[in-house]
């Protein structure tokens, strides 16, 4: 049980960090440009 | 009732991300700010009515340009860490289509177990490796959802695109037909054997916030859960199976229940807070 919670917390923290770093690098705009270029 | 509710969610998952109807009327693509948002489902952003981006297309774009897709991967990881593969089971329009096609009454077969590894190969080779080496979005070029929701409408609507049709278009049509016809015979062949987005979400099923709990004390191993499972698995053998779409159809059985990692006693049984069945057990076949 504790292992499950720990695994979730680590996964969630890593995921949010990844997303925040991507947003910080302005990748939202790059995704938008890619979508618009099609 | 829960089954019908899932059909409603699936219909919404097909309609809402494709709410830009004007795209079909004016033969243009939506290019507003929502296009920067990656939806956690398989929905082609080249569809004339698409409001959002396809996460796989975005990841490929970054791979093809030699960059790491932190934003798209992060979005998928946040969704995966929250609900695992649930968007595949409840929202994905291509999954919905396969579910409906499987309802056609005819001979039914089973996909071999090893086929599930193919979707990881599709993710690694067609989404990352080949686009990085060739700078071409090869998965998107062959994607059956892209052919269905973007290729066919654009060829129908635009004479200039029709003039550009080459042999690749017919390869795409062949791939689409392969998955459409095989969906009548086996449960969700694309989701299980080819979907790279499903491969990403599969990695989170073991550690996601939402979990499937199984009660070994009440389970009779009757196998009915496998019959109603849209991906033909036995949730009682392994509730954290990476194949599981978290559609919750099997929770019609009282031995299976939707729960969270924080729930200590999902079935509310006395004296089981720390004991057998209290946790989300990685079950093993009886005998």
Q: What HEC string does B33-56 produce?
A: HHHHCECCCCCCCCCCCCCCECHH
pLDDT tens digits, A4-20: 899 999 999 999 999 99
Domain positions in chain A are 2-37
> Can you tell me the mean pLDDT for B58-82?
93
pLDDT per residue over B143-188, tens digit each?
999 999 999 999 999 888 899 889 999 999 999 999 999 999 999 9
Which of B58, B61, B77 lies nearest to residue A14, judging by beta carbons? Answer: B77
What's the rounded Cα separation, in Å, for the pair B43 and B96?
12
Task: Find the CB nearest A18 among B74, B278, B279.
Answer: B74
Q: How many CB pairs under 8 A join A and B?
A: 105
Compare CB distances from B38 to A5, A15, A31 and report the shortest one's residue.
A31
- Mean pLDDT in chain B? 90
User: In this complex, is the C-beta atom of B58 within 8 Å of any C-beta atom belonging to chain A?
Assistant: yes
B66 contact A CB<8A: no
Is B53 in the A-facing interface, judged by CB distances under 8 Å? yes
Q: Cβ–Cβ of A27/B38 closer than 8 Å?
A: no
For residue B26, what are the contacts with CB-CB under 8 A and spacing of at least 6? none
Three-class SS state of B257: strand
ipTM, two decimals, is 0.89
Alpha helices in B65-216 (DSSP H): 70-83, 86-90, 93-102, 117-121, 130-134, 138-142, 144-146, 152-157, 159-163, 167-185, 189-193, 196-202
- Here the tokens at position B243 are 């194949």
Flag if B77 and A8 touch (Cβ within 8 Å): no
CB contact under 8 A, B31 and A20: no
Q: Which of A27-31, B26-30, B59-63, B243-247 has the lowest mean pLDDT?
A: A27-31
The tens digit of pLDDT for each residue in B106-137 reads 999 999 999 999 999 999 999 999 999 999 88
Cβ of A21 and B261 within 8 Å?
Answer: no
Q: Which of A15, A22, A35 to mutate to test the interface with B (most CBs of B within 10 A)?
A: A35
pLDDT in tens, B4-24: 889 999 999 999 999 999 999
Query: Which residues in chain B are closer than 8 Å to A3, comparing Cβ atoms?
Result: none
Instruction: For residue B116, give the nearest of B195, B171, B182, B52 by alpha carbon.
Output: B195
């Amino acid at each position: 049980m504790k292992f499950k919670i720990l695994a979730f917390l680590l996964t969630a923290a890593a995921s949010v960090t990844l997303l925040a770093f991507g947003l910080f690098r302005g990748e939202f705009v790059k995704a938008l440009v890619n979508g618009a270029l099609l | 009732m829960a089954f019908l509710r899932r059909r409603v969610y699936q219909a919404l998952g097909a309609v809402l991300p494709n709410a830009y109807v004007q795209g079909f009327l004016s033969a243009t693509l939506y290019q507003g700010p929502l296009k920067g948002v990656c939806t956690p489902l398989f929905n082609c952003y080249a569809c004339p009515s698409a409001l959002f981006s396809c996460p796989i297309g975005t990841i490929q774009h970054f791979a093809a340009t030699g960059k790491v897709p932190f934003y798209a991967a992060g979005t998928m990881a946040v969704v995966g860490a929250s609900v695992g593969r649930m968007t595949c089971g409840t929202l994905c329009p291509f999954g919905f289509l396969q579910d409906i096609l499987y309802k056609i009454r005819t001979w039914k077969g089973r996909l071999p177990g090893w086929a599930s590894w193919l979707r990881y190969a599709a993710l690694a080779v067609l989404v990352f490796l080949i686009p990085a080496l060739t700078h071409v979005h090869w998965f998107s070029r062959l994607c059956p959802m892209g052919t269905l929701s973007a290729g066919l409408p654009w060829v129908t609507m635009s004479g200039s695109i029709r003039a550009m049709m080459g042999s690749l278009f017919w390869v795409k049509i062949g791939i689409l037909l392969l998955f459409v016809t095989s969906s009548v015979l086996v449960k969700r062949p694309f989701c299980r054997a080819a979907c790279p987005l499903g491969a990403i979400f599969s990695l989170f099923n073991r550690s996601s916030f939402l979990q499937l709990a199984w009660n070994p004390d009440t389970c009779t191993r009757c196998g009915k859960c496998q019959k109603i499972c849209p991906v033909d698995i036995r949730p009682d053998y392994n509730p954290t199976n990476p194949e599981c779409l978290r559609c919750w159809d099997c929770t019609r059985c009282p031995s299976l229940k939707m729960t969270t990692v924080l729930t200590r006693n999902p079935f509310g049984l006395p004296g089981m807070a720390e004991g057998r069945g209290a946790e989300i057990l990685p079950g093993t076949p009886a005998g």
